[in-house]
């Protein structure tokens, strides 16, 4: 660019121009070395991508609550094609084996005969069109479905149009189907916002979430986050691992009594993981460290029958960069860990509490995968709203975070209605405590939000559970 400008706008002598060219060549070009043309190729390629229209992800978990379930998918091009492009969207059962191998899963294939794709999945994009119309995919339950199984619907997009390219994954998407037809649920309406409750388990019994019911009989809280397990460095085994204090371990050891009742009521139970005053942390693992720790997190969630993980980048010391498990504290490292976790447990939730180096809007593209594909949702610190990162939507963000003990964050009905109308997908609460239901107006705050989000009343709880007890006591 400098040379061109000089030619156009300068009156340099030929000798000076030659010197400029020679200097430029000497500084920027290595003789015999191939020039990296990938940035230019990427800008000129016509890339295709198949995603769920609502989530903008190529991996969606479906809760089958009726005999039939429908969702919409779309096929997108990276730019205007300047020519007609034919597209065929179909079930590709053979891809299930590839997916299971990559993610180390063993999901059963949902029968193709029970999958209906609108218009037989056949479309033609006009030269000035980048996206197909919404393509309705309908799933019908089949005889013999098991509640404790995850079934995979592998979809693929193909084209005979010359010049359309795909990455290893962009032509495929999967629907992971779970049979929830006979389970209690928290469903409070189509596309309703979901509530996330962080429990300080050092102080409070998570069973108290069961006592918060709407007038229509639905559980008010959709997700219960156990705050918190930790990430720590084990100097003897020389690895990063998940560590639990005695309060977290008690709940896990008594899983059937304290956690599974929440899941049976339709809630998701998620473990929060944050730093613990040593050199490890969610946002300072190396690529290898992130991959290995993600495998441990996946095994941990499956062993204790949890629904996923929520990362919180706090309380970490400076990492030893000579340790191969660790890396620089950065948004990249936090993004890498979330990506590796989603890859290791695609059927589980990978969520984020915005803090430290890990903010949803700063999450990075990892191995070509946008944050919208590996971060299921993010919540902000108290009083704020999370912002979507690349490939994310407001549906993957909490519109408000309320600290119920110290009173930070708006709990007004008006704010709830506004955030709902803006398109946010979640509302977050922290530190619910039966001893403060009245003194801190905790219940009345939840009631205000309930009216704003769902246009119905939240029934004032009449019972509670003491810490480490399954006895239901009257308030």
Residue 316 · residue 278 · CB < 8 Å:
yes
Instruction: For the chain, give the mean pLDDT.
Output: 90
* CATH number of the domain where residue 216 is located: 3.20.20.80
Q: Is residue 72 part of a domain?
A: yes
What Rg do the C-alpha atoms of the chain give, in angstroms?
A: 26
Residue 8 lies in a domain: no
CATH number, domain of 87, equals 2.60.40.1740
- Together in a domain, 264 and 175: no
pTM score: 0.81
Structure tokens at 222: 């959709």
Q: What is the mean pLDDT of residues 207-215?
A: 97
For residue 475, what are the contacts with CB-CB under 8 A and spacing of at least 6?
A: 434, 437, 461, 462, 463, 464
Let me know if residue 288 belongs to a domain: yes
Q: Check pLDDT > 50 for residue 187.
A: yes
Q: Are 201 and 251 spatial neighbours (Cβ–Cβ below 8 Å)?
A: yes
Whether 260 is covered by a domain: the verdict is yes
Q: Are residues 275 and 380 in the same domain?
A: yes
Q: Do 307 and 393 reside in the same domain of the chain?
A: yes
Count of structural domains, the chain: 2
Interaxial angle between packed helices 287-303 and 331-344, expressed in degrees from 0 to 180 and rounded to the nearest 10: 40
DSSP letter (8 states) at residue 219 = B
Q: Is 199 found in the same domain as 61?
A: no
Active site annotation includes 314: yes
Q: Are residues 167 and 201 in the same domain?
A: no
Residue 119 has pLDDT above 70, yes or no: yes
**Is residue 413 situated within a structural domain?**
yes
Nearest to 430 by CA among 195, 258, 215: 195
> Active-site residue among 314, 403, 413, 466?
314
26 located within any domain:
no
- Residue 371 and residue 248 share a domain: yes
The answer to whether 184 and 265 have CB atoms below 8 angstroms apart is yes
Q: Is residue 390 part of a domain?
A: yes
Q: How far apart are the first and last CA of the chain?
A: 75
User: Can you give the residue range of the structural domain that contains 144?
Assistant: 46-179
Which residue has better confidence, 302 or 11?
302
Of 197, 255, 188, 251, the C-alpha closest to 224 is 197
| Confidence tier at 148 by pLDDT (50, 70, 90) | confident
127 and 208 both lie in a single domain: no
CA distance 263 to 209: 11
Asked whether residue 227 falls in the same domain as residue 344, the answer is: yes
Tell whether 150 and 202 lie within a shared domain.
no
In whole angstroms, give the CA distance from residue 38 to residue 18. Answer: 30
Is residue 23 a part of any domain in this protein?
no
Residues 198 and 175 in one domain: no
Verify that 309 and 419 share a domain, yes or no: yes
Q: Which of 179, 212, 231 is the last residue of a domain?
A: 179
Query: What is the predicted pLDDT for the residue at 313?
Result: 98
């Amino acid at each position: 660019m400098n040379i061109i400008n000089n030619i156009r706008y300068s009156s340099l002598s030929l000798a000076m121009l030659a010197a400029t060219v020679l200097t430029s060549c000497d500084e920027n070009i290595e003789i015999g070395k191939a020039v990296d043309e990938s940035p230019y190729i990427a800008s000129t390629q016509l890339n295709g991508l198949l995603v769920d229209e609502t989530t903008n992800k190529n991996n969606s978990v479906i809760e089958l609550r009726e005999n039939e379930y429908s969702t919409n998918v779309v096929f997108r091009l990276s730019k205007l094609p300047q020519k007609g492009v034919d597209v065929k969207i179909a079930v590709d059962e053979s891809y299930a084996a590839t997916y299971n191998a990559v993610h180390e899963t063993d999901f059963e294939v949902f029968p193709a005969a029970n999958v209906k794709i609108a218009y037989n999945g056949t479309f033609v994009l006009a030269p000035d069109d980048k996206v197909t119309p919404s393509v309705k995919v309908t799933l019908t339950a089949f005889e013999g479905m098991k509640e404790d199984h995850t079934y995979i619907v592998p979809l693929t997009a193909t084209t005979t149009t010359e010049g359309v390219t795909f990455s290893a994954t962009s032509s495929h998407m999967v629907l992971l189907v779970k049979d929830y037809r006979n389970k209690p649920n928290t469903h409070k309406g189509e596309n309703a916002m979901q509530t996330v409750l962080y429990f300080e388990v050092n102080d409070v019994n998570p069973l108290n979430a069961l006592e918060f019911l709407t007038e229509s009989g639905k559980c008010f809280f959709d997700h219960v986050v156990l705050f918190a397990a930790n990430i720590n460095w084990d100097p003897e085994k020389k690895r990063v691992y998940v560590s639990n204090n005695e309060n977290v371990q008690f709940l896990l050891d008594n899983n059937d009594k304290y956690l599974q009742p929440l899941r049976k009521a339709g809630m998701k139970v998620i473990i929060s993981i944050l730093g613990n005053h040593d050199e490890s942390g969610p946002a300072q693992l190396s690529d290898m460290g992130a991959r290995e720790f993600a495998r441990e997190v996946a095994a941990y969630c499956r062993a204790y029958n949890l629904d996923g993980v929520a990362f919180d980048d706090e309380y970490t010391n400076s990492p030893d960069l000579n340790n191969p498990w660790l890396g620089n504290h950065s948004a990249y490292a936090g993004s890498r860990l979330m990506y590796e976790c989603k890859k290791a447990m695609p059927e589980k939730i990978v969520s984020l509490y915005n803090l430290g180096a890990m903010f949803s809007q700063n999450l990075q593209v990892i191995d070509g995968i946008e944050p919208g594909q590996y971060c299921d949702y993010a919540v902000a610190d108290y009083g704020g709203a999370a912002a979507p990162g690349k490939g994310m939507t407001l549906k993957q963000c909490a519109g408000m975070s309320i600290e119920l003990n110290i009173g930070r964050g708006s709990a007004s009905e008006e704010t709830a209605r506004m955030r709902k109308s803006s398109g946010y997908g979640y509302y977050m609460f922290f530190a619910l405590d039966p001893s403060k239901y009245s003194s801190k107006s905790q219940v009345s705050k939840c009631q205000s939000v309930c009216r704003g989000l769902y246009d119905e009343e939240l029934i004032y709880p009449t019972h509670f559970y003491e810490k480490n007890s399954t006895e239901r006591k009257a308030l």
